[in-house]
Amino acid sequence: MKIVVLKFGGTSVGTISKIKIVADIIAGYKRKKFSVIVVSSAMSGVTNELIKKSEAISGNFSDAEYDVLVSSGEQIACSLIAGRLIHLGYNARSWLAWQIPILTQGIHKNSRIYDINKKKIFNYLKKGGVPIITGFQGINENERVSTIGRGGSDASAILLAKFLKAQRCIIYTDVEGVYTTDPNKLSRARKIKEISYEEMLEMASLGAKVMQPVSIQDARLNRINIEVKSSFIKKPGTLITKRKNIINNKIITGISSTQNDSKVSLIGVKDKPGVAASIFKPLSKNSINVDMVVQNISANGKETDLTFTIKTEDLNKTKKIVKANKDIKFRKLLLKKNVSKISIIGVGMITTPGVTFRMFQTLAKNKINIQVISTSEIKISVLIDKKNTKKALIALHREFKLDD
Ligand code: ASP
Ligand code: MG
């Protein structure tokens, strides 16, 4: 049996006419003799509407009831897809996660799928049926409906591909694939043919909104090839796969930039063990996400400067928390809005010397000042003034031969 999992995102099933297109795509795979498993998200906007309703009913809406409510959007989409396939003469039916069941662990709103019972789905496939399965949901040990986090139907699809040993998992969405950089920011952005899980994970965490980061991690751990493509345009998308499968002569695969970052510097911090911990503990308690961090060596052994970046929406809260913190002493607090983090990503940099130098030189030639630097094995990030973002993207995109 050649099994393929097709996942449709909210925009792909956003209207009745789009759902009809989805049914045609599914029929295409059936004609090619695939056993097709379909996973669908809710029609676009529906999940958000349901969340609003929960908030209107109570400022303290039960998490268990939240899961029942917000998972209902997927039920609508799945029955419409199944209904259309039946209309076209196919053997199809919808499955809610609990009917399979798809088993989850963990807290409501943020559970994780740990097992999927294959039997019913497998039997149905053997009879030529097309199961249309609700993404984003499962059932927990208390037999309550659970959800697995916003954007979670990607993970549902990948884990179905894993448990049912599918040959491929195809994520249909409203973009044509993964791009070298955000095409809305740079018209020279190119669609990437193949990208490794590791690179994709970095790109997604940095804001490439093609897929949910945890689902990429699930795919990586289970070695599942994913193709991301558009449900509106018939063109090959991007293949996300393991490094070994990729023949790529480029050193850098993609470049990302952030918006709405701010920089916080504590000048003259008393240098002793535990200071960094006491600065970041109350921030993490308040769910403030700290991104880049640099601490200078203290020249005199007594004082040091510490800089970190956060989202600008957290700036006021951060300022208050740092000022109220009695465990740390510092001379000055500097806050700077409108900074942007530019990252170049590529597994090629592991084996190629001089990438860091080329990045810095390119920025220097364009008179762009670097404020903070951070690196990982496959990523180099720099913090620059936000007004230079476009200039930096253009220059780096060209320098690392992503234009062509
Ligand atoms: N419908 C859910 C959401 O909007 C799940 C998904 O889209 O994957 O978060
Ligand atoms: Mg979605």
Q: Is residue 374 helix, strand or coil?
A: strand
Q: What is the mean pLDDT of the chain?
A: 95
Complete edge-to-edge strand list for the sheet that includes strand 130-134: 92-95, 130-134, 35-40, 3-8, 168-173, 226-230, 238-241, 194-196
- Chain segment 151-171, per-residue pLDDT in tens: 999 999 999 999 999 999 999
Burial 71-102 (b: 16+ CB within 10 A, else e): bbbbbbbbbbbbbbbeeeebebbbbbbbbbbb
Ligand 1: does its nearest atom lie under 6 Å from the Cβ of 77? no
Question: Measured between alpha carbons, how far is 44 from 48 in angstroms, rounded to an integer?
Answer: 8
Domain of 164, in residue numbers: 3-174
Q: What is the 376 CA–ligand 1 centroid distance (Å)?
A: 30
Q: What is the pLDDT of residues 124-148, one digit of tens each?
A: 999 999 999 999 999 999 999 999 9
Q: Are 74 and 136 in contact (CB under 8 A)?
A: yes
**Tokens encoding 360:** 């810095």
Q: Looking at the CA of 215, which ligand is closest?
A: 1
Percent of the chain with pLDDT over 70: 100
- pLDDT tier for residue 37 given thresholds of 50, 70 and 90: very high
| pLDDT at res. 299 | 76
* Structural domain includes residue 336: no
In the reported structure, the alpha carbon of residue 261 is separated from the centroid of ligand 2 by a whole-number distance in angstroms of: 25
Q: Report residue 125 CA to chain centroid gap.
A: 30
pLDDT over threshold 90, residue 22: yes
Residue 178, pLDDT > 90, answer yes
Q: How far apart are CA 345 and CA 317, in angstroms?
A: 31
Q: Per the structure, how many domains does the chain have?
A: 1
Position 229 in a domain? no
pLDDT band at 297 (very low <50, low <70, confident <90, very high): confident
CA 109 / ligand 1 centre spacing (Å): 12
> In this model, does residue 35 exceed pLDDT 90?
yes
Tell me what pLDDT residue 250 has: 86
What's the pLDDT tens digit per position in 319-368?
Answer: 999 999 998 899 999 999 999 999 999 999 998 999 999 999 999 999 99
pLDDT confidence tier of residue 298, bands split at 50, 70 and 90: confident
Q: Is 189 within the bounds of a domain?
A: no
Question: Which pLDDT tens digit goes with each residue over 236-284?
Answer: 999 999 998 888 778 999 999 998 999 999 999 988 888 889 999 999 9
Q: Is the CB of 135 under 6 A from ligand 1?
A: yes
What is the per-residue pLDDT for 255? Answer: 96
**CATH code at 32?**
3.40.1160.10
Output the pLDDT for position 78. Answer: 98
Q: Is 226 a domain residue?
A: no
- Reply yes or no on whether the pLDDT at 301 is more than 90: no
Q: Which atom of ligand 1 is nearest to the CA of 156?
A: 8
**Domain-embedded: residue 188:** no
Mean pLDDT of 57-75: 98
Residue 312, in any domain of the structure:
no
Which ligand is closest in space to the CA of residue 77? 1
Q: pLDDT digit string (tens) for 101-110?
A: 999 999 999 9
Ligand nearest to the CA of 157: 1
What pLDDT does 302 receive? 85
pLDDT band, residue 231 (cuts 50/70/90): very high
Q: For residues 22 and 54, is the Cβ–Cβ distance under 8 A?
A: no
pLDDT digits (tens, 9 = 90+) for 186-229: 999 999 999 999 999 999 888 777 888 889 999 999 999 999 99
CB 280: neighbour CB atoms within 10 A?
15
Structural domain contains residue 240: no
Ligand 1 centre and the CA of 46: distance in Å? 9
pLDDT score, position 189: 94
147 lines ligand 1 (CB under 6 A): no
Q: Is 401 inside any structural domain? A: no
